[in-house]
Amino acid sequence: MNKKVHVQDLGLKDYKETWDYQEQLFKDTLDFKIRNRREELSLETPNHFLFVEHPHVYTLGKSGDISNLLVDEKVLAAKGATFYKINRGGDITYHGPGQIVGYPILDLDNFFTDIHKYLRFLEEMVIMTLAEYGIKSERSPGETGVWLDVGTPFARKICAMGVRASRWVTMHGFALNVNADLGYFDMMIPCGIKGKAVTSLNVELGKKEVDLDEVKQKLLKHFQELFEAEIKEKTEV
């Protein structure tokens, strides 16, 4: 039986507001799960998948190195960007307009209890989506995310990932560059990996712009296939 996943597209939304909303869903899911077990109920734990675009923002994971941000907050402010230290894994990441950010808040007890497999499935969802645009992407050994031309001097990252989990409930997720302004990546060492470039789907396709909604629907289709999920779309926030 497929597990229900409630999908919401938040549009362009402030990072902190989205983080607070994500934290609330995460807490609600954990509380539901704990009550389920305490009272020996068999109710299905809710699962969520948030799509969002953020205004320009840099985030640093709990194991990240602040020196990978190459400018100070005054420079960021002048570029209309903000900065947050957050509780996911991974190093420094940029989010901005033209980038699809996905936050799956899943109870992995509903799917499989394996964080490694979870990350590989998220990567595979992106790889399958890019393949629909004729883009061959792949994993890079030891480096979470999705890359192009791995093992060559032209290796470049197109999708970053970083997750957190507690009692097998996940939060945070992935950031896929679709129509991203790549100039913002010059102000950091992406994910703390030196000497590797970053790219965006529109650049790879030689287009000014790719339809974001179309990409989201392709991502959801492959998510549904990989996780054997039943998608329930919601519009209210």
pLDDT attached to residue 84: 85
Candidates 184, 183, 198, 188; CA nearest to 71 is 188
**pLDDT of 196 strictly over 80:** no
- Residue 182 per-residue DSSP state: G
In a domain, 87, yes or no: yes
In a domain, 75, yes or no: yes
In a domain, 41, yes or no: no
Instruction: Give me the mean pLDDT over the 38-49 stretch.
Output: 86
Q: What is the pLDDT of residues 132-183, one digit of tens each?
A: 999 999 999 988 899 999 999 999 999 999 899 999 999 999 999 999 999 8
Q: What is the pLDDT of residues 208-229, one digit of tens each?
A: 999 999 999 999 999 999 999 9
In a domain, 173, yes or no: yes
SS3 assignment, position 70: coil
Q: Give residue 134's domain range.
A: 54-99+110-228
pLDDT attached to residue 186: 86
CATH number at residue 80: 3.30.930.10
pLDDT attached to residue 237: 46
Instruction: Give me the helices (H) in the chain, please.
Output: 15-38, 73-78, 115-131, 201-205, 212-227
Using alpha carbons only, how large is the chain's radius of gyration in Å?
17
Instruction: Give me the mean pLDDT over the 64-75 stretch.
Output: 83
What's the mean per-residue pLDDT of the chain?
90
- Annotation marks residue 159 as catalytic: no
In a domain, 216, yes or no: yes
- Taking a C-beta distance cutoff of 8 angstroms, is the pair 126, 220 a contact? no
pLDDT attached to residue 156: 93
Q: Work out the percent of the chain whose per-residue pLDDT is above 90.
A: 66
Q: What is the pLDDT of residues 118-141, one digit of tens each?
A: 999 999 999 999 999 999 999 999
pLDDT attached to residue 143: 85
- Taking a C-beta distance cutoff of 8 angstroms, is the pair 119, 161 a contact? yes
Choice among 105, 108, 158, 191 that is catalytic? 191
In a domain, 9, yes or no: no
Distance, in Å, from the CA atom of 182 to the CA atom of 199, rounded to the nearest integer, reads 7
Instruction: Give me the mean pLDDT over the 53-60 stretch.
Output: 92
In a domain, 74, yes or no: yes
Q: What is the pLDDT of residues 80-119, one digit of tens each?
A: 898 888 877 677 889 999 999 999 999 999 999 999 999 9
In a domain, 186, yes or no: yes
Identify any residues that bridge with 159 across adjacent strands, giving them in sequence order. Answer: 146, 176
The total number of structural domains in the chain stands at: 1
For residue 153 the two structure tokens come to 């001097």
